[in-house]
Structures are given as structure tokens and as C-alpha cells.
Structure 1
Amino acid sequence: MISLPVVLISVVLFFVLFFGIGFLLNMLLRMSWIMALIYPIVCAFIINDQKLIDFVRTPLESFPNLIVKFGSLAAADVLILTSGLIGAVMSGIAIKSLRKRGYQMF
């Protein structure tokens, strides 16, 4: 069981972390939603303990195992990962609004 202060700090940390990474990627690659598209893959790497090559070699075993892992997450883990997704989406919104207002990043 994770304590409440750890969950709160983790939520803020994941939001800020993925907002920052998403903002930088959006700015450099000029694609407003790149981090929101990459985020599910990042979540799969965080949750799963299998190697990437296993998804290519044995996909019929690897993908069901990943789905089972997603299903067995605790509520605190889902909240933390959701805050990271919100941070990634907010970075896309921030870049879009800055570009709309005339700011050009790289």
C-alpha cells in the first residue's frame, strides 16, 4: 500500500515530467501531439517486465501478459500514470496555444 504523500508527490512529478518532455519534443519535432502518442508505449515499458524483442518474437504471449499487467494495477498506479498522460496532453495544448499566439519555437 502506497501512502498518500507518496501518491501526491508522484502525481505531481509525473505530470511535470511528461509535460516537460512533451513540451521539448513538441518544440523540437514540430508535432503538437507527439508525446501523447508515445505515452502509451512509455506506460507499457513502465508496467511490463518483458523485453521489447519478446513482443516481436512471441506476440501471442506477450500482449496478453501486458493486458493482464494493466488490469492488475492498483488505483494509485492508475492515478499516477493518468497524471502523466494529462501532462503529455497539456504540453500539446500549450504548444498549440503558443503557436496560435505567434510564438515560434525553433
Structure 2
Amino acid sequence: MIQLFISVLLFFVLFFGISFILNMILRQTWLMAFVFPIIVVFIVDTVSFSSYFSEPGTAFSSLGNELTSLGTQDMVILSSGFIGTIAAGFVIRFLRKSGYQMF
């Protein structure tokens, strides 16, 4: 149980920080929210990236099987990372509305 709590906290902080920095540098507030599903595919999937272009049928069916076979703990951990990206977007929006010009 303690490992789940630490993992959730680490994923939240990790993706919050990455999203905050990318939002600050690229000035695209919700960029990481759209990139996050691609990162989840890289974390979860077992086939190579090139197989999505050479053998799309088997690659996407394998991805579907991997996503449906994720455990509850894995879904909670990955969801905390997504919540971190969303929180970073709201924080950046709030800071920009408050008058802070970041880069």
C-alpha cells in the first residue's frame, strides 16, 4: 500500500514538473495533456514502435490487450500522472492570468 502511495505521488510530481516546464518553454498550455496518451502507450506496450507502421493490425490488437489487462494499481498510477499534467495546465493558466510572464 505504501508503494502505491509513493508511486502515485512520484508520477504526479514527475508529470506535473515535465508539463510545467514544457508549458513554460513552448507556451502551449495543454500540449502535455495531448502527448500523455502517447507516453502511456510507450510505457504499457511491448511491441516496437516501427511495428505500428509495418504490422498495424497486430500492433494495435496487442496494445488493446495490454491496456485491458492493466491492474487497478497501474491505472491509478497512470491516472495520477495524467492528473499531474492537467494540474500543471491549470497552474500555468492561473499564473499567466495573474500577470506572470514566463519566458
Deviation at 1:50, TM superposition (A): 1.2
TM-score for both structures, normalised by structure 1 = 0.95
**Is 2:103 aligned against 1:101?**
no
| Distance in 2, Cα, partners of 1:102 & 1:56 | 45
Structure 1 unaligned blocks of 5 or more? none
Residue number in structure 2 paired with 1:9: 6
Runs of 4+ with >6 A deviation: none
| Distance in 2, Cα, partners of 1:96 & 1:56 | 37
- Percent identity between matched residues is 46
For residue 52 of structure 1, give the secondary structure of its aligned residue in structure 2: coil
For 2:39, the aligned partner's letter is V
For 2:91, the aligned partner's letter is A
Deviation at 1:64, TM superposition (A): 1.2
Residue number in structure 1 paired with 2:79: 82
Residue number in structure 2 paired with 1:24: 21
Deviation at 1:49, TM superposition (A): 1.4
Count of aligned positions: 103
| Distance in 2, Cα, partners of 1:93 & 1:56 | 35
Structure 2 unaligned blocks of 5 or more? none
C-alpha RMSD of the superposition: 0.5
